[in-house]
Chain A
């Protein structure tokens, strides 16, 4: 319709120049990927010394987080902390006298992409280990790849438990290090009627299944249970339901942007932290920056680490992080857990004297380290960490004040075997 002379002319010019350039770009970019189209890619022989990751003067390690898409806002900070740990280790001479070479890949907030990139890191780059993931969905997508290729994944985020892969180390909390003690503390200190609100995916669903069993066992009362799709932003109906149900506590497992909407609308509805206790398990310092400290002041969260956690290691960690990435940046639980993961792996490699997966796993058993959150220890049986549980209250400056702590690291129990009321929960796993 707009076939004007100028357009045709322009198209003509393009053929000679830009079109050819763009095509060259595609073809060039595909050279290594499209062996069928021509050139043979350097055939790697995975047979000998698989997953050693040692290449001459360096050890390759993979970093696989979402650098684009909806999860990027959370995961980029974890990537930054892991890169910082790698830089620090390299500055001190590396591991086994070799420098660590990070290979960064973008999971793009897309679960099949996580699986593809995990496979690439293990079978093409032959990295010694991978640090990565945030959502349970991304971990579940990567898990079969790591088990198939016998790789090693360090997963840094608190999660719903009921999992213990021999190829994954979990440096975030499992349920008995976050949710279960938080529920017990709330029942003792804040009331018995609990309202469960969560995003509709595996973590909130599983967490609430556990909480319901715990409420029944410890004398609590379920006031209501609601799930909203990820990214949901209209909470007026749910706030009305909460008002009608009159709970003492809202246990919040919402994730991402939904927290912004929920807490703002809760404040607009005239409900403050003094009227209603809420405890969140996915709201950390980073999210407070996004939601606004004025909106969240007085609300509670349960984690293993806060930027304010008072240890000498944390002081150094926070200072180094801010010096490297800017004074306005904050540290938070998953960021610290990602940082821990790199150091724990490095310590295990030093102890094992090799990057071989089986040797590292063996060396990692009962390994201790003074993390920013305090002492952590790897539980050999489950490959989770012993972690201190902390409940914090949001202050006006956007930081947490610790109101309760377990005092000492709690042994991880992903299948809740030590809780009689949880016996029916993990039947399928």
Chain B
């Protein structure tokens, strides 16, 4: 089943070079993009953070979550609540006023400070994941049953947020912010700074994910993916590892949600629904699961395609997206990263045949 997963062995130099190249590209991007495109790119980078987190869970541990939109949304709401309180300047946020509230609910209080909001934007998704993980993994609920439970989590969360309009802004979501830490969100400098923050967080996420994957912890994760019972018989407790990676993955989604709100300026329940949750899985699937770069590239390329298609063909862009999904799933079962690796291998094979390089001088390929 999983033998086609791409092994992530790579020469150290090659890897460092790739990281350097990626960092250079991200750093240079503002030089040759318009403000609007940079803003879009920043949003996609935020999505890429969530995709890498999801890949750790699905690609490396084999746990499919169709509920990551919830974690993304919880992070987003945490940031949005802070920004809304800032924008309301001591008064009640507008939607509370028209929904009949007269004073700020207690659970909004911690979001008055930026630090508190950021902390909760990570802690709340982590806590929800820990709660769900505790009751599922310990009871050995896995595979499709776990996936169904994550879908239930989505429905519960969306219904709750939509229904409690007075406290959450309902279907409208939360929008209309002014500034962050005293800087106007509309100012080009703030946007540029936020872009760099996002790019930096993405790179940090990569490094972290890479460390996790290479560590003993990461080896156990892959072992769980390939044979959970064997891992158990070897004396490990898989549920702890599963909970750990689920919490990590949810936290990364929460961080991505916070950054998303800063770039887009709105969070609504539609961003944490079933469709966005499945879309996140598609980024990973099409990019190539089990490869960190594949997940990130999938998020960037698919969202780029979505924007480009919908701008060029506003009436029929959904058909293009559908066709893209079908073609990639049917013909690229290992995603774009898989295609790249195959192409690389093939190219090497051809070159090697020509030069007849001795076996022992062959170098590995880089997939991360």
Contact = CB atoms under 8 A, between A and B. Distances in A.
Interface residues of A, number: 63
A91 interface: no
Contacts of B94: 428-429
A118 to B, nearest CB: 10
Contacts of B28: 36
B41 A202 contact: no
Contacts of A160: 98
Interface string A138-180: 0011011100100000000000101000000000000000000
Interface stretch (B7-15, B260-268, B355-363): B260-268
B97 A201 contact: no
Interface string B286-318: 000000000000001110110111111011011
Interface of A: 1, 11, 14-15, 18-19, 21-23, 25-27, 29-37, 40-41, 43-44, 46, 67-68, 104-106, 108, 110-112, 115-117, 119-120, 123-124, 136-137, 140-141, 143-145, 148, 160, 162, 200-202, 205-206, 209, 229-230, 427-429
B282 to A, nearest CB: 13
Assign chain B's interface to a size class.
35 or more
B270 A43 contact: no
Contacts of A144: 175-177, 186, 265
Kindly name the residue among B97, B98, B320 whose own CB sees the greatest number of chain A CB atoms within 10 A.
B98
Which of B173, B176, B314 has the largest count of A CB atoms less than 10 A from its CB?
Answer: B314
Interface of B: 1, 25-26, 28-29, 32-37, 39-41, 43, 91-100, 159, 162-163, 165, 170-173, 175-177, 186, 264-268, 270-271, 300-302, 304-305, 307-312, 314-315, 317-318, 320, 324, 327-328, 330-333, 336, 339, 342
Contact of A116 (B32, B95, B264): B264
Given A202-B172, A428-B97, A428-B98, 9 more contacts: A15-B339, A27-B301, A33-B40, A35-B37, A67-B314, A115-B264, A144-B176, A144-B177, A201-B171
A35 B98 contact: no
B310 A105 contact: yes
B97 A110 contact: no
B294 to A, nearest CB: 13
B356 to A, nearest CB: 26
A421 B245 CA distance: 57
Contact of A19 (B176, B270, B317, B331): B331
Nearest to A76: B315
B32 A40 contact: yes
A331 B7 CA distance: 61
Looking at chain B's contact residues, is the secondary structure mostly helix, strand, loop, or mixed?
Answer: helix
B357 to A, nearest CB: 24
Contacts of A43: 32-34
A202 B186 CA distance: 26
Contacts of A117: 310
B1 A1 contact: yes
A75 to B, nearest CB: 12
Contacts of B266: 111-112, 115, 141
A21 B328 CA distance: 10
Contact of B173 (A105, A111, A205): A111
